[in-house]
Structure formats: C-alpha cells, structure tokens
Amino acid sequence: MTDSDIIAIMEEIVRANTVGGGAFKGQVCTLALIDEDGFPTSAVLTPSKSDGIRWLTFGTLLDENRAIRSSVNNRASVCFGSAAHCVNLVGEIQVVTDADVKREMWYDALNAFFIGPDDPNYCVLKFVTKRYKFFRAKDGIEVADIL
C-alpha cells in the first residue's frame, strides 16, 4: 500500500466525521491542546469542514478554554478513532474571527450554542496538519509521516 493510498483512507475517515464533508455519519473526534500549566487537555468535537487531512475547522466559543488555549499555545492534535482504525493528526491551530470564514464554517447544529454565524462569541478554530500517524486494525497497517 502506497502513502497516497493511506492518505486517501485517512481522508475518507475524516470526511465521514466532518459536517461539511458530504458523508457525515454523526461522529466526533478528539482535539488535544496544551493548557495554561503546560498539561495536555482534550475535548470531543465535531469538525465543521476539512480539506482532506491538510486542515480541519471547529466552531467554538471565543471566551472558552479551547479558543483561549489555542491562542496561547498553537500546538494541537486531532484524533479520529474507533475499534477499526486510528487517525492521529499533529499540527498547529489558530483562532479565526473573520466574518466570512465564520459564515463559511457554520452548520445548523451550532444554533444550539450561538445566535448565528455573526454571534460575537462564535469563532472558528483552524487546525493545520504537520504530521500524522495511521493505524488500521484489520491488516495491522501502521504508518507515521510528515506532510
């Protein structure tokens, strides 16, 4: 199996777990950040959109820990896992408050948390992958690489 084949498999897993991916199955991923004391923290989130494994976005509260921690330390990890596979992406994250980006990344389920895409407390976290690790249980494939 080539690197391109493995990346294609990972991209399909990410697409199936991303609202704007066209194949959303209602799953979530784990976002890991570094807290103010230098310790890892994690949260379960649904990605808004993605470009394969290159980047993913998440809607969150601007005054909430995820946005605050991302502003202080931009190192992050995103994991899509199940009994069948694990896609672990490592990279950098940034807080985006641009109105056009917020509207583009908006999806209906966010109405439960915000008054709309123009809510001043709504922001987008954009994660950009620097490296990845992939494991698939059925054939024991395990690969780690840098994008």
Tally of structural domains, the chain: 1
CA 38 to chain centre: 21
Instruction: Judge whether residue 97 has pLDDT over 80.
Output: yes
Confidence of residue 142 (pLDDT cuts 50, 70, 90): confident
| Residue-level pLDDT at 2 | 85
Give the residue, 115 or 140, on which the prediction is more confident: 115
Nearest 5°: the CA angle 31, 37, 41 is 20
The boundaries of the domain holding residue 122 are 3-146
Unique residue bearing structure tokens 């199936």: 16
Task: State residue 103's pLDDT score.
Answer: 95
pLDDT score for 139? 85
Residue bearing tokens 């992050």? 76
CATH number at residue 118: 2.30.110.10
pLDDT tens figures, 2-34: 888 889 999 999 988 888 765 566 678 999 999
Nearest to 78 by CA among 66, 96, 62: 66
Across 91-116, average pLDDT: 94
| Residue 117 to residues 61, 82, 83, 94, 120, Cα–Cα distance (Å) | 12, 31, 35, 18, 8
In this prediction, residue 18 carries a pLDDT of 86
Check: CB of residue 93 under 8 Å from CB of residue 70: yes
The whole-angstrom separation of Cα 75 and Cα 33 is 7
Residue 141's pLDDT band (cuts 50, 70, 90): confident
Specify the residue for token string 């809607």: 59
Q: Is the pLDDT of residue 50 over 90?
A: yes
3 token code pair: 């690197």
Give the predicted TM-score (pTM) of the model. 0.91
pLDDT tens for 53-78 read: 999 999 999 999 999 999 999 999 99
